[in-house]
């Protein structure tokens, strides 16, 4: 498999894992479910795309089409993670609050009213800007580390002897 994919997937996994202790430090509550959820600090989206972009820059060079594609794709992903997805999360908070408001209104109502309680919408969809930056910093570090660790692989591949 492409080593850049390994670096990016490792960065995503590490970012997801780090959400658990960071959440614990903030709230004093341990929540292993954060490993499989979206949102939170650091952004695994940012970590993945920035590690891949850094790895490509160090491995292939900045003036390559590979770097250009990865950079543009990464910027779009990070913008989406903190922009559109964050706004969706904010809207979800408001919709969930409406459900609570309806519950309060029901208690004052004299006519019997029965409604199935809908499942609350997931509120942590996107990222705050600092979560995106945190993921990007983690990704740059992981991309650099991946490049350094895999540097010997590259030298060995160049010196590889083929048998005929």
Give per-residue pLDDT as tens, 112-160. Answer: 545 556 566 555 556 777 888 888 898 999 999 999 988 866 655 555 5
Dihedral sign, CA of 121, 125, 130, 135? positive
Give per-residue pLDDT as tens, 2-18. Answer: 899 999 999 999 999 99
pTM over 0.85: no
């Amino acid at each position: 498999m492409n080593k850049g994919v390994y670096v990016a997937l490792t960065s995503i996994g590490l970012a997801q894992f780090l959400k658990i202790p960071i959440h614990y430090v903030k709230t004093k509550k341990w929540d292993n479910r954060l490993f499989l959820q979206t949102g939170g600090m650091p952004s695994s989206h940012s970590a993945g795309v920035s590690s891949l972009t850094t790895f490509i820059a160090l491995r292939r060079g900045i003036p390559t089409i590979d770097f250009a594609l990865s950079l543009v794709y990464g910027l779009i992903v990070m913008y989406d993670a903190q922009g559109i997805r964050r706004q969706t999360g904010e809207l979800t908070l408001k919709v969930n609050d409406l459900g609570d408001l309806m519950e309060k209104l029901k208690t004052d109502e004299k006519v019997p009213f029965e409604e199935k309680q809908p499942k609350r919408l997931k509120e942590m969809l996107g990222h705050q800007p600092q979560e995106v930056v945190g993921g990007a910093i983690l990704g740059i570090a992981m991309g650099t580390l991946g490049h350094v660790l895999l540097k010997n692989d590259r030298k060995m591949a160049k010196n590889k002897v083929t048998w005929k």
